[in-house]
Amino acid sequence: MRKAIFITGGGSGIGRAVAQRFAREGWFVGLADISESGMAETGALLPADQWSAHRLDVRDRAGWDAALADFSAAAGGRVDVVFNNAGIPIGGQIIDLAPEEIERTLDINLKGAIFGAQAAFPHLKRTAPGSVLLSTASAAGIYGTPGASVYSATKFGVRALTESLDGEWAADGIAVRDLMPGFIDTPLLDHAPNRSSNEDIRARVKGAGLEITPVSAVADAAWAAVHGEKLHTLVGKTAKRMGFAARFLPGSVRKQVRAMARPLGG
């Protein structure tokens, strides 16, 4: 029986690239998103008999149960991987952010991942051992980034969720993994970091001299994470440099971030 992966944020960006990567390997793909047009666009890139679409707001706990039940039925009764990928960016000095912006980011990036884990558990337990909960964290979850405090907090939370569930679910045979990408070439980079900014994130990244990693690299990393043993998979030069420095040169990293004259997202 062919394996099946359920992907939130499947209507664009990382979710779309991962859907294509797994479909090429013969997997059945479940696309979950609030954008029905986005899911249709992703689905048009996949073999007609290898995908299904499920409208889902990851903040809706009951919606998670309904979407996964529908996907399991479409996939022939099995769910091998749930990819907690849906997320939004937010940047700027914390004192300049509106409460509703903060709440929306926390709800989608962190609460959505927690609800996804809860809802995924019974499905993944049925296909264990070998089933996987995969989540999109970030290089911002390696060391807190000035100008991205709220976003960093959500991604540290996703990292903590991964580490905690890796222990909780080991006896059930469910693997738990996350991806920690740097700046990835997706439509999210073309958004302003917050409602008071008129410059998109892509311009800020380029202005800081940082590289933008192709989204295909994240898709390949997702495939490797599902089939490998790494708890955290760092994707892109920025993430790998930050991971090395945070581990071996923490004092240097602290000095560098404190000296940033214009934080990303600020």
Q: Is 143 a known active-site residue?
A: no
Q: Which of 111, 155, 230, 240 is catalytic?
A: 155
CA distance 20 to 14: 10
Strand partners, 133: 82, 176
Tokens representing 231 are: 């708890």
Q: Is 3 a known active-site residue?
A: no
Q: Which of 237, 146, 112, 224 is nearest to 183 (CA)?
A: 237
Taking each helix axis as running N to C, give the angle between helix 112-127 and helix 149-168, from 0 to 180 degrees, rounded to the nearest 10: 20
CA distance 82 to 127: 12
Q: Which of 3, 111, 125, 151 is catalytic?
A: 151
The three-class DSSP label of residue 19 is: helix
- E-state strands within 78-205: 81-84, 132-136, 175-181
Tokens representing 197 are: 């900014």
For residues 94 and 149, the answer to whether their CB atoms sit within 8 Å is yes
CA distance 158 to 151: 11
Tokens representing 25 are: 């390997």
**Alpha carbon 88 to chain centroid distance?**
9
Catalytic residues: 151, 155
